[in-house]
Amino acid sequence: MRKMYALTLLLILNLFIAGCQPLSFVSSKVTSGEEEQGYNEDLLTMVVPYNSGGGTDVFARFMTKPLSEHIENQPSIHVENVPGGGSITGTNEYVNSYDKDGTNLVATSASTHIPYLLDQSSVQYSFDELTPLVGAPTGGVVYGSADLNIKDGFDLDQVKEKLFYAGMSPTGLDLTTLISFEVLEIDSKAVLGYEGRGPARVAFEQGESNIDFQTTTAYKQNIEPKVEDGKAVPLYSLGQIDENGEVVRDPQFPDLPTVKEVYKELHGEEPKGQAWETYKHFLNATYTLQKVIWVHEGAPESAKEELKKTANKLVKDEQFKQESSVILEDYEVYSQAELEKRIDNLEKNMNEDTINWVYEFLLKEHGVDGRKL
């Protein structure tokens, strides 16, 4: 009897000691995050829904250090890759399975945003379930072969030969470029299925395609030398969306006209109609809001406020601006309030007409039934 009494006391004592120990969350799953607590974590997790080594993975890994340095207790931030489904798998898992306690973040990119905006059946996440913290744009330039015998995009109506475009997927980053062709009434044949923009560029170099696009860094590193050598001609920049929802020149390519300017030169008026509205919408989602880091909307308010303050500190950090110039391609991150406003506007402007237009465009022009994806 005495032995049973002693064991009972020992068990109670152990439970009491365990209850007094501080907790540190890594990426345990299924807690609600509803209880309000002070934000004093030692370890955060950054979920990256892509394989390691890709653009979003590099971005996320780079951001762990400056984010940690601006959080009050400077926690370690562990990157966890959950690839699959073009980033849908990992983002679904983040929303459904990771603790909503403010210790888990997720980094997304254009290929995460497009399926959500198109309401694809495989998507289980919603922007309404996420609070944006850090966001940064990228840019893109459409260029052609020197064999087209034109000087710039303003001469596109003088092209005599058939245009061939090498791309990856009509529902990925290529979508914005393909819609720009539709807006400008460019008659091109899209050959899709390439494994990346690098292989698509090689196809251009080998003469398999004669019109192409590359994002900012790839264009500056790989295409500008060809422009200087007379082997490629810049046609237009995809542009950026400003705070008023209008297309403006990309600050990294201030001398290149936008789709809007090229259209006006070719047609004598500014673009309008559903194709143009759809282009602006997806330009915003894929380039102006290209990379975003989020936390669960259901996280404790104290955690969200601490992370928002951290994001805003980055905007004013001159050392961060210098160190991030390569990773962010000399673009600047948005303040948290501006980022949140831009994403709210993105959702508000998405409507049934836009979705139906894209589905019809994909099916008619590229043989892809977006409703079955």
- Within 10 A of 98 (CB to CB), how many other CB atoms are there? 23
pLDDT computed for residue 371 by the predictor:
78
| Whole-number Cα distances in Å, 230 to 122, 233, 234, 256, 345 | 45, 7, 11, 17, 41
Window from 6-15, 176-185, 297-306 with minimum mean pLDDT: 6-15
23 confidence band (pLDDT: 50, 70, 90): very low
pLDDT computed for residue 295 by the predictor:
98
Mean pLDDT confidence for 164-169: 93
Query: pTM for this one?
Result: 0.85
β-bridge pairing 291-296 and 130-136: antiparallel
Residues of the chain with CATH 3.40.190.150: 24-137+289-333
Query: What average pLDDT is seen over the chain?
Result: 88
> Is the torsion defined by CA of 69, 71, 75, 76 positive or negative?
negative
Does 11 have pLDDT greater than 70? no
Rounded to whole angstroms, how far apart are CA atoms 355 and 348?
A: 13
Window from 13-17, 276-280, 295-299 with minimum mean pLDDT: 13-17
pLDDT computed for residue 299 by the predictor:
97
pLDDT computed for residue 17 by the predictor:
39
pLDDT computed for residue 341 by the predictor:
93
Mean pLDDT confidence for 223-237: 97
pLDDT computed for residue 34 by the predictor:
42
Does 28 have pLDDT greater than 80? no
Percent of the chain exceeding pLDDT 90 equals: 76
pLDDT computed for residue 39 by the predictor:
63
Does 37 have pLDDT greater than 60? no
Specify whether the CB–CB gap between 290 and 137 falls below 8 A: yes
Mean pLDDT confidence for 249-268: 97
Specify whether the CB–CB gap between 241 and 283 falls below 8 A: yes
| Second CATH level (architecture) for the domain 140-286+353-372 | 3-Layer(aba) Sandwich (3.40)
213 confidence band (pLDDT: 50, 70, 90): very high
Those residues whose C-beta lies under 8 Å from the C-beta of residue 271, and which sit 6 or more positions away, are 183, 259, 260, 263, 264, 279
Tokens of 291: 């990379």
Specify whether the CB–CB gap between 291 and 111 falls below 8 A: no
180 confidence band (pLDDT: 50, 70, 90): very high
Hey, what CATH topology would domain 24-137+289-333 get?
D-Maltodextrin-Binding Protein; domain 2 (3.40.190)
373 confidence band (pLDDT: 50, 70, 90): confident
Residues of the chain with CATH 3.40.190.10: 140-286+353-372
336 confidence band (pLDDT: 50, 70, 90): very high
